[in-house]
Structure 1
Amino acid sequence: MSEQKNKKEKVAQEIEKEAVEELQEVEQEMHTVPEETATEEEVTLTEDEKRLLELEEKLEAAEDRYLRLQADFENVKKRNIAERTANQKYRSQSIAEALLPALDGFQKALDTQSDSEQMEALLTGMKMVYGQIMTALEAEGVEAIPALGEQFDPNYHQAVMQDDDSTKESNEITMELQKGYKLKDRVIRPSMVKVNQ
């Protein structure tokens, strides 16, 4: 980027330098013109004035191009800073998305009931591992989206079923079918829910 900027600046400076040199030459010619008849002076001045106007237009065009290049460079610079900031803020999104199916599996396994002591011990170990994974994800800004008992919000929830329960409020979530997650302020996956009419 800096090489491109330097090249653009050099081109703009060269054009500006040429225009200034031509202006100086015209001014020198105007001062060194020998006195002749009035009509010849008028013709010479008009030609010199035309040349001066052309050079001024070239200089204006070069300055305009230079300012546009400078504005373009500033826009690219701002865009790169914004992209770097977003990449830094959401750097753990891909790993979180990859872990969601495993978290769903853990959740289903933890929801099972068992009378066996061995199964209870296994479930306790799974709860510990699940807790550690969730703690690591929460440290990166990943958190579960609250759903059950909440009002339906299309930004965070995906309604896949409707319920007709008169004891619940309208648009209240009555069941969470799949847990949703967000990373800071960005939804990774919306919650799949059943909503009361």
Structure 2
Amino acid sequence: MVNENNEQATVENEEVSTEETEETTEKVEEVEVSAEQQKISELEAKLEESENRLLRLQADFDNYRRRVRLDQEAAQKYRAQNLVTDILPALDNFERALKVESEDEKIKTFLQGMEMVHRQLVEALKSEGLESIEAVGQSFDPHLHQAVMQVEEGEEESNTVLEEFQKGYKLKDRVIRPSMVKVKQ
């Protein structure tokens, strides 16, 4: 009987031991699954962060390429700006010299030659996109005109340009030099 009791106790111990082992195995599996889920979540978060960083880098690069393209287009469009700016004082002097009146035939011939050179110079500048700003009789525009005098004389409307002291010029759509004008107050 003692043997039977021992056997029964051993069987019961084995059953309890098997149950405990199964419970422990289940707990270990749950812990492993939980650890794997956590690892998966961490990897998914890293992947999402990497994808976001890649998208931001792509957007930054696209913006950079667009800015460079716009800068190159502007540089090409206004490539003559420095040259035009340097030539404008000479063009002004040409125009002042052409206003000289004389009765002498030699001077008249000389002035005709200067007028031809002036016309060629103006045509060359026009081909690059230079155009003069119309001022006299126009409404005053601070983007195009620089008022150096204001007077109350004349019958024109208020804010009308009466006289132009220095011609203004635009290169394509950019004002290179505003017209210096006298304005009706």
The normalised TM-score by structure 1 is 0.79
**Structure 1 position 166, deviation (Å):** 3.5
Q: Distance in 1 between matches of 2:60 and 2:98?
A: 55
| Counterpart AA for 1:78 | R
Q: Where do residues 94-133 of structure 1 align in structure 2 (5 Å cutoff)? A: 94-133=82-121
Structure 1: gaps of 5 or more residues? 1-35
Counterpart CA distance in 2 for 1:106 and 1:154 is 27
What secondary structure is seen at the aligned counterpart in 1 of 2:165? strand
Q: CA deviation at 1:68?
A: 0.7
Alignment correspondent of 2:34: 46
Of 155, 168, 172, the residue aligned with 2:160 is: 172
Give runs of aligned pairs for residues 15-94 of structure 1, distance below 5 A: 37-94=25-82
Asked if residue 187 in structure 1 is aligned to residue 175 in structure 2, the reply is: yes
- What secondary structure, in the 3-state scheme, does the structure 2 residue paired with 1:37 have? helix
Counterpart in 1 of 2:142?
154
Q: 1:77-128 CA deviation, whole Å, 9 max, x = no partner?
A: 1111111111111111111111001001101111122222221111111111
Question: Which residue of the other structure, out of 103, 127, 137, is the alignment partner of 2:125?
Answer: 137
How many angstroms apart in 2 are the aligned matches of 1:117 and 1:73? 67
Q: Aligned partners of 1:133 and 1:57: how far apart in 2?
A: 67
Aligned residues: 163
User: By how many angstroms is 1:59 displaced?
Assistant: 0.7
**1:143-172 CA-partner distances (Å, limit 9, x unpaired):** 111111111111110000012223222111
Q: Distance in 1 between matches of 2:160 and 2:110?
A: 35
CA distance in 1, matches of 2:33, 2:155: 95
Which has the greater radius of gyration? 2
TM-score when normalising by structure 2: 0.84
